[in-house]
Amino acid sequence: MNDEPIALAAYEELAEAFAAAADTKPHNAYYERPATLSLLPAVEGKRVLDAGCGPGIYSEWLLEHGAEVVSIDASPKMIELTKQRLQRTANIIQANLGKPLTFLDSSSFDIVLSPLVMDYIADWRSTFAEYYRLLRPGGWFIFSAGHPLWDFLYFKSVNYFETEFVSCDWKGFENVQVHMPSFRRSLSEMLNPLTEVGFQIDKILEPKPTDDFKQADPHGYEKLLRRPIFLGVRAIK
């Protein structure tokens, strides 16, 4: 079996275009990101694992707000872009988040943050168990993912309850189009694995677009007011 992350090739191709657009692309900058950041506790003085750091946007925000950050991504290009963005090389690691992070010590983080990464991982229970291991008692796990209702309708799935491999074309980045694979799953298969490994679910967030989104994309703003495309979750060890 190929152990390579399912979206690695797509993100390697997309990396530069994604990094160039993500600071201002409405669905990222004015929808998912403010929602996910709103789930974070105070980060000053905290040790945070940015699990799926992409081009380093969240890592940069965390550092600017006083956190100690370990940034991990499977994509070599994203790792390089993170190093360029942060102007440092320490604590930026290439690794497959679908595998055990044995190089990190147990109970060594206050927060694990994983924005829009879990959809590319097949076995959430194993990954959640690993994040539970890495967190100190009382630590926070925050993640965002595709909303199960949106994904079910968008991919025209036949069985909502079946976790399935899906894919689509991403065309929203200038001069780059990639075929992006992911996994779609039900709400119960998103939340039950958390409690099964020991987490307590603290908050579920179905975000609405910000005023900045309205300015950038009025039509998309009206659509997102009626139906979310992302789901945010905060859990506690």
Write the secondary structure of 58-83 as one string of H (helix), E (strand) and C (coil): HHHHHHHCCCEEEEEECCHHHHHHHH
Torsion of CA 112, 139, 36, 166, to 10 degrees: 50
Beta-carbon contacts of 215 under 8 Å, excluding residues fewer than 6 positions away, are none
Residue 175, pLDDT score: 82
Looking at the domain assignment, is residue 123 inside a domain? yes
Domain range holding 42?
16-147+191-236
Q: What is the mean pLDDT of residues 40-54?
A: 97
- Other CB atoms within 10 Å distance of the CB of residue 115: 25
Q: What is the pLDDT of residue 90?
A: 66
**Domain contains 20:** yes
Tens of pLDDT along 113-147?
999 999 999 999 999 999 999 999 999 999 999 99
**Mean of the per-residue pLDDT values of the chain:** 95
Residue 186 lies in a domain: no
- pTM, to two decimals: 0.96
pLDDT band, residue 174 (cuts 50/70/90): confident
pLDDT tens, 175-203? 888 999 999 999 999 999 999 999 999 99
Overall average pLDDT of the 228-236 stretch = 98
Task: Supply φ then ψ for residue 45, to 5 degrees.
Answer: 80, 0
pLDDT score for 2: 57
> Is residue 198 situated within a structural domain?
yes
Is residue 164 domain-resident?
Answer: no
pLDDT tens track for 73-117: 999 999 999 999 998 656 999 999 999 999 999 999 999 999 999
Q: What are phi and psi of 71, to 5 degrees?
A: -110, 130
Provide the pLDDT for residue 171. 87
* Residue 1 scores a pLDDT above 50: no
The pLDDT assigned to 4 comes to: 87
Q: What is the CATH number of the domain that holds 47?
A: 3.40.50.150
pLDDT value, residue 68: 95
> How many domains does the chain divide into?
1
Give the pLDDT mean for 206-224: 96
